[in-house]
Chains A and B, each alone.
Chain A
Amino acid sequence: QKEVEQDPGPLSVPEGAIVSLNCTYSNSAFQYFMWYRQYSRKGPELLMYTYSSGNKEDGRFTAQVDKSSKYISLFIRDSQPSDSATYLCAMSSLDSGNTGKLIFGQGTTLQVKP
């Protein structure tokens, strides 16, 4: 079983739709949860960061962490064609917190059609 599971998609939605991206994980020691966005032929860039359980909102993006279910989500409201990218979840534990080592999901490819 992989430590972090993410549905690779692809996911295709019309412009303006609400998008839900999800990851499950098996390591209960994970405390830091991130979402990275990666455009084609580019490096990943940090989109959202959450520590432990709870929600975090930034504009059209909301990140949720449910540690009891070992499940994290990223919601995109009013999706735009410019949101078309691969979204990678990433996480780490307190043990690796001082080294910056992250465990990544496989990435979900999202296409938002005009």
Chain B
Amino acid sequence: NAGVTQTPKFRILKIGQSMTLQCAQDMNHNYMYWYRQDPGMGLKLIYYSVGAGITDKGEVPNGYNVSRSTTEDFPLRLELAAPSQTSVYFCASTKDGSDEKLFFGSGTQLSVL
């Protein structure tokens, strides 16, 4: 049971480049989330999904897009990378939106130069 798997672990982008951060979970969880973590700033919610085909904005959605075509996968797309998107990105999931336990992936460290 792998849990929540994120790829890649590290990536360096040039300003204006695009990329997709991958997130997959094998726990049959309905709810999935993308957070970013900046030093000293805690985690901020970018986008979330309560099921396949359903997504919604979180606190800091600008510059990102998501899709949820399957229960297992929840990719995060950066279309025009900017230095302000340098951060560590975490994907998380939970079975039914219960606040008791989010399962987090190990993160993707992204630098935009």
Residues of A at under 8 Å CB distance from B?
4, 6, 8, 32, 34, 41-46, 49, 88, 90, 92, 97-102, 104-107
B residues contacting A by CB (< 8 A) are: 4, 31, 33, 35, 40-45, 48, 50, 56, 58, 90, 92, 94, 97-102, 104-107
7 of the cross-chain contacts (CB-CB < 8 Å) are: A41-B106, A41-B107, A43-B106, A49-B100, A88-B42, A88-B43, A100-B98
Q: Report how far A42 CA is from B4 CA in the complex, Å.
A: 12
User: How many contacting A-B pairs (Cβ < 8 A)?
Assistant: 66
Task: Report whether A43 and B99 are in contact in the complex, using a CB–CB cutoff of 8 Å.
Answer: no
B42 near A107: Cβ-Cβ < 8 Å: yes
Q: Is chain A's binding surface mostly helix, strand, loop or mixed? A: loop
Contacts of B45 in A (CB 8 A): 101-102
Cα distance, A97 to B50, chains bound together (Å): 12
Q: Are A101 and B40 in contact (CB under 8 A)?
A: no
B42 touches A100 (CB 8 A): no
Closest 6 CB pairs of A and B: A43-B104, A104-B42, A32-B99, A104-B43, A100-B97, A106-B42
Query: In this complex, what residue of B is CB-closest to A43?
Result: B104
